[in-house]
Amino acid sequence: QMTDEELNQFIKKQINYNMIIPALIEANERKDKKIADLLRRIEFLEAKALKKSKVVAIFGHISPDPDCMGSMQGLANMLRQKGIQADVYVDSDKDYSEYAMFDFDANYNIDLDVNKYDTLISVDVATKRLLGKYGDTFESFENTVSIDHHGSRDLTAKAIYCEEHSASCSEIIFKLSKH
């Protein structure tokens, strides 16, 4: 196991983007999850899908639980702080007034004008079916990102960030907010 100082030195050596993928493979082969996670975060944050984004739509799974809701809202807030317009969409008929104290500002079960967005992001969604009526739109859109903690998944996206060993998607969003 590497010390934090050794880990920092290793990451500095990998700062050349072209070396991230080979370093990820090497870290994975050594079963060094700490390094692999950091490299995945660097690769994800450098992804063109996010770099060129100005207006994004964020989607969670149908009938979202608190992890999904927190992930969507946390990501939306993080992107807004970076000057990116972020709207949250949920395919659900459930009454979420009980969550009003959390200032959850999602668009519930409404039609999506996909042309106003340059990036679509799903959080805590492992399958297209879980996106409900937004599934086909998400998978056919040109610039998509998926952030998840579910290992068995079939949702297609241009950039995927998945940490199977994370207990929740909101944990991943929190980690990403630190970079």
Winning range, highest mean pLDDT, from 15-24, 93-102, 117-126: 117-126
**Alpha-carbon gap, residue 72 to 68, rounded angstroms:** 6
Tokens of 35: 């390094």
φ/ψ (deg, to 5) at 154 = -135, 10
CB proximity list for 5: less than 8 A, separation 6 or greater: none
**Alpha-carbon gap, residue 78 to 37, rounded angstroms:** 20
Tokens of 38: 């950091």
Q: How wide is the angle at C-alpha 47 spanned by C-alphas 41 and 48, nearest 5°?
A: 165
pLDDT, one tens digit per residue, over 106-147 is: 666 678 899 999 999 999 998 899 999 999 999 999 888 888
How far is the CA of 48 from the CAs of 54, 68, 71, 109, in angstroms?
Answer: 12, 24, 21, 29
> Hey, what long-range contacts does 38-47 have (CB within 8 A, 24 or more apart)?
38/7, 38/11, 39/11, 39/14, 40/161, 40/163, 41/161, 41/175, 41/176, 41/179, 42/11, 42/14, 42/179, 43/17, 44/159, 44/161, 44/176, 45/176, 45/179, 46/17, 46/20, 47/145, 47/159
pLDDT at 95 over 60: yes
Q: What is the pLDDT of residue 18?
A: 43
Which residue has better confidence, 111 or 74? 74
CA dihedral in degrees (109, 114, 119, 120; nearest 10)? 30
Please give the mean pLDDT across all residues of the chain: 76
pTM of the model: 0.72
Q: What is the pLDDT of residue 100?
A: 60
Tokens of 130: 């879980």
Q: What is the pLDDT of residue 16?
A: 44
Task: Kindly state the average pLDDT of the residues 38-63.
Answer: 73
